[in-house]
Amino acid sequence: MAANNLLEVKNIKKYFPLSKGWFSAKGHVKAVDQVSFSIQRGETFSLVGESGCGKSTLGRLINGLIKSDDGEIIFKGKNLTGANEKAWRSYRKPMQMIFQDPYASLSPRMKIKDILDEPLKIHHPELSKETRKTMVQEILDVCGIDAYHLDKYAHEFSGGQRQRIGIARALILKPELIIADEPVSALDVSIQAQVLNLLKELQENYQLTYLFISHDLSVVEHISDKIAVMYLGNIVEISPAEDIFSRPKHPYTQALLSAVPIPNPKVKRERIMLKGEIPNAANPPKGCKFHSRCPHAMDICKTVEPQLKKVEGQMVACHLY
């Protein structure tokens, strides 16, 4: 593939065993099932899907927080699969994460300066205390937090400010890739806009690459260059952002788009109502996993699992094409 790829994921797979013991069901939840994609330097690649589709698991797999069962993760041309915990710790330096819940992702017992100092201590023990302090102050400034907050604890900040601190922590190691797992979904609309703007600014200033995970299509549209739609552990469609909103290919993408309520009472649309709910990931339907809810389901959909293929510049996994 292109040398410009910062991250390449090939056929990655993660099955979670269902807890044994008291609970009756046994087997596996196929959280991520044979997923492949690649991200180019400087772009924002988004993963969208409803809860339980495996998008967050995928983010954690790439960061090595969870070990994959199968497949390859190639980051900056280096294959990270099978590395041990110690090796992973150094791989994570250029690949940082931002988490969904700004209230829970910061240690409640550390001051802001210690939270931000910690990554430096781990990866740059050679730096002096003063240098580290200057770096912490610089990064806070970049993220829009005043330096006099350094001695405060996380709980003394509002949600938006905390998410800024979370971003600062990710940024302080000067990473190339940032995996942002639903970074704005816990925030109020007015704050959400602030944080999204910050992320965009940072990308421009530091040439960052984002893997942006979200369930909110309107947020995703705003920030992404390329979008992958996930359903039950599979990617069903990968398209450039403009295309996916103007001409969604996969029936699921279409349904998802039409379900989003539009904050304008004047716009009346033809709605695609999906039948039923997302099936249990421990026991997904055979063939195309979406066939049980698909308005266009055909006989082949029940038996043969469709593969991603190129349709008009978009990648779609559907028997319709």
Give residues 130-149 in contact with another protein (rule: CB under 8 A).
Answer: none
Identify the residue among 44, 46, 57, 63 touching another protein (CB under 8 A): 63
Give residues 12-51 in contact with another protein (rule: CB under 8 A).
Answer: 20-24, 50-51
Query: Is the CB of residue 47 less than 8 Å from the CB of residue 111?
Result: no
What is the token pair recorded at 243?
């295309």
What is the token pair recorded at 250?
């996969």
Q: Which is nearer to another protein, 49 or 306 (CB)?
A: 49
φ, ψ at 243 (rounded to 5°)? -65, -40
Q: Does 89 bind another protein (CB under 8 A)?
A: yes
Q: How far is the CB of 9 from another protein (least distance, A)?
A: 17
Q: Does 171 bind another protein (CB under 8 A)?
A: no
CA angle 308, 312, 313 (to 5 degrees): 70
What is the token pair recorded at 155?
């709980």
Q: Please, how many CA atoms are within 13 Å of residue 279, restricted to the half-sphere of its CB?
A: 18
Q: How far is the CB of 121 from another protein (least distance, A)?
A: 9
Judged by DSSP in three states, 246 sits in helix
Quick note: the x/- pattern for another protein over 274-313, rule CB under 8 A, is x--xx-----------------------------------
Q: How far is the CB of 1 from another protein (least distance, A)?
A: 26
DSSP 153: B
Q: Does 125 bind another protein (CB under 8 A)?
A: no
Q: Does 196 bind another protein (CB under 8 A)?
A: yes
Query: Is the CB of residue 144 less than 8 Å from the CB of residue 165?
Result: no
Give residues 255-274 in contact with another protein (rule: CB under 8 A).
Answer: 255-266, 271, 273-274
